[in-house]
């Protein structure tokens, strides 16, 4: 059995750790690229959301490297992610690929079913070994997300432009080559240390933006056209509303116990959106309010064309923009998105935020006299 999985930002590091610790033979799909998207677009329904198209491309690229089993997380709730696994299986079947699909649905109280799915994958039935591997994967995921956080902070402040990206890219190249939890964690620790010690330019005027929107688009750099690097180079520090490590904690550990770390966010969203409508629309609105209250300079929402929950959030965000006096930009991406156009919009938005910040600063100075 050779197992593969779809890409979703840093998730591949945790899945690699989990499966390697369980003694499973894996194929990590090549980094998402235009080829991945071309393959996926060719074989997927035209109007389906972008993540599914990229997933199909990931599978085909892994099948070419010998993968015969696919592991995917499931979802429930009113959004197309809920039937991704069924649709993906059908698409691959129609292409002549008969693969085993192992669906790791979030437990939602039913840990038994969850463990059965993991045992189907693992070379062990020992629950202790499985729990240990899961804990290591979770730790690795938090470690890689911490590298992201360090990079978000450093990029807009680095004295030598590009230093952070160099270390960041090198980590993602090297982590594919090392094997096992210990080696991954050593690399994580070393990369964090190096990024944190990059020399800063105290003169840089840093603008702060809250990045909100659909989880896959926020997390997968290929799909959002490396927005975090683009913004970092423009002197913007970002904070993402969703992180894969938080998603895992929420679905694997908290929700089965009827707990959530997002209650405060749902509360913030409540005046605009009182219930869960699928995807992360409620979090998009809630985090928009949170960032505004915390004094961020602006908000950018990113989502894939035809994403239903985010379309609803988009219709609400102008009200948040008005109520909290915070500029908001919406970017919708699909396989036709032109990078030059996107860059222009981002640059113009950052210019606007910087001008606004300057004006506010000058007004404050004047009112002090
Ligand atoms: S949240 Fe949006 S993009 Fe993601 S699966 Fe659901 S509909 Fe598609």
What are the pLDDT digits (tens) for 312-349?
Answer: 999 999 999 999 999 999 999 999 999 999 999 999 99
- List Cβ neighbours of 176 (8 Å cut-off, separation of 6 or more): 16, 28
Distance CA 125, CA 6 (A): 25
243-256 residue pLDDT tens: 999 888 888 888 87
Residue with the two structure tokens 């979703």 = 8
304-316 residue pLDDT tens: 999 999 999 999 9
Q: What Cα–Cα distance (Å) separates residue 103 from each residue in 35, 140, 202, 282?
A: 26, 22, 49, 25
Distance 193 CA to ligand 1 centre (A): 35
5-64 residue pLDDT tens: 999 999 999 999 999 999 999 999 999 999 999 999 999 999 899 999 999 999 999 999
Whether the model clears a pTM of 0.85, i.e. scores above it, the answer is: yes
- List Cβ neighbours of 178 (8 Å cut-off, separation of 6 or more): 184, 186, 187
Mean pLDDT of the chain: 93
Where does the pLDDT of residue 121 fall: very low under 50, low under 70, confident under 90, or very high at 90 and above? Answer: confident
Distance 28 CA to ligand 1 centre (A): 23
Distance 347 CA to ligand 1 centre (A): 27
pLDDT for res 367? 83
Q: Which atom of ligand 1 is nearest to the CA of 51?
A: 3
Q: What Cα–Cα distance (Å) separates residue 9 from each residue in 51, 208, 244, 284?
A: 12, 22, 8, 19
Q: Which atom of ligand 1 is nearest to the CA of 303?
A: 3
- Taking each helix axis from N to C terminus, what angle separates 127-154 and 181-196, rounded to the nearest 10 degrees? 20
In the chain, how long is the greatest CA-to-CA distance? 75
Q: Which of 86, 308, 331, 335 to mutate to test the pocket of ligand 1 (most atoms within 8 A of CB)?
A: 308
Q: What Cα–Cα distance (Å) separates residue 204 from each residue in 18, 236, 330, 345, 360?
A: 40, 10, 26, 22, 18
Q: Which residues of 121-142 are buried (b: 16+ CB within 10 A; e: fewer)?
A: bbebeeeeebeebbebbbbbbb
69-107 residue pLDDT tens: 999 876 656 678 888 888 999 999 999 998 888 888 776
Ligand 1, atom 2: nearest CA belongs to which residue? 307
Mean of pLDDT values over 99-123: 78
Mean of pLDDT values over 289-296: 98
Mean of pLDDT values over 221-241: 97
Ligand 1, atom 3: nearest CA belongs to which residue? 307
Domains along the chain with CATH numbers? 1-154+157-202 (no CATH), 206-368 (3.40.50.11900)
What percent of the chain has pLDDT above 70? 97
Query: Under a CB-based contact definition with an 8 Å cutoff, are residues 180 and 244 in contact?
Result: no
Which of these, 235, 290, 237, 238, lies nearest to 262 by C-alpha position? 290
Distance 73 CA to ligand 1 centre (A): 14
Q: Which of 309, 311, 335 to mutate to test the pocket of ligand 1 (most atoms within 8 A of CB)?
A: 309
184-204 residue pLDDT tens: 999 999 999 999 999 999 999
Q: Which atom of ligand 1 is nearest to the CA of 216?
A: 4
Distance 306 CA to ligand 1 centre (A): 8
Please give the structure tokens belonging to residue 313: 């959030």
Please give the structure tokens belonging to residue 252: 């694997």
Where does the pLDDT of residue 108 fall: very low under 50, low under 70, confident under 90, or very high at 90 and above? Answer: low
Distance CA 306, CA 310 (A): 9
pLDDT for res 107? 67
Q: Spell out which residues line ligand 1, taking CB within 6 angstroms.
A: 49, 51, 79-81, 214, 216, 279, 304, 307-310
Distance 318 CA to ligand 1 centre (A): 21
């Amino acid at each position: 059995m050779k197992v593969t999985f779809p890409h979703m930002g840093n998730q591949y590091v945790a899945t690699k750790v989990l499966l390697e610790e369980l003694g499973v033979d894996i194929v990590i799909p090549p980094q998402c690229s235009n080829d991945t998207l071309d393959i996926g677009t060719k074989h997927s329904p035209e109007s389906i959301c972008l993540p599914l198209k990229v997933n199909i491309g990931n599978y085909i690229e892994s099948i070419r490297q010998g993968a015969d089993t696919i592991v995917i997380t499931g979802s429930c709730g009113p959004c197309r992610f809920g039937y991704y696994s069924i649709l993906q299986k059908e698409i691959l079947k129609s292409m002549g690929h008969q693969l085993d699909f192992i669906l790791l649905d979030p437990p939602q109280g039913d840990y038994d079913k969850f463990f059965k799915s993991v045992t189907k994958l693992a070379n062990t039935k020992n629950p202790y070994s499985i729990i240990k591997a899961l804990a290591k994967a979770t730790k690795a995921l938090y470690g890689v997300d911490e590298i992201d956080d360090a990079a978000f902070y450093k990029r807009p402040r680095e004295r030598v432009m590009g230093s952070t990206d160099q270390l960041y890219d090198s980590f993602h190249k090297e982590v594919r080559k090392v094997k096992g939890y210990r080696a991954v964690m050593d690399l994580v620790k070393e990369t964090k240390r190096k990024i944190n010690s990059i020399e800063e330019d105290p003169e840089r005027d840093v603008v702060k933006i809250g990045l909100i929107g659909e989880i896959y688009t926020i997390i997968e750099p290929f799909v959002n056209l490396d927005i975090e690097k683009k913004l970092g180079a423009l002197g913007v520090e970002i904070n993402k509303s969703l992180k894969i490590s938080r998603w895992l904690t929420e679905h694997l550990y908290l929700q089965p116990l009827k707990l959530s770390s997002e209650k405060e966010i749902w509360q913030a969203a409540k005046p605009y959106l009182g219930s869960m409508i699928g995807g992360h629309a409620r979090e998009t609105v809630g985090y928009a309010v949170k960032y505004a209250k915390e004094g961020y300079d602006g908000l950018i929402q990113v989502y894939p064309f035809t994403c239903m929950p985010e379309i609803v959030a988009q219709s609400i965000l102008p009200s948040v923009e008005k109520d909290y006096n915070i500029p908001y930009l919406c970017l919708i991406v699909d396989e036709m998105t032109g990078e030059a156009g996107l860059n222009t919009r981002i640059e113009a938005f950052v210019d606007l935020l910087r001008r606004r910040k300057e004006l506010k600063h000058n007004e404050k100075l004047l009112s002090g006299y």
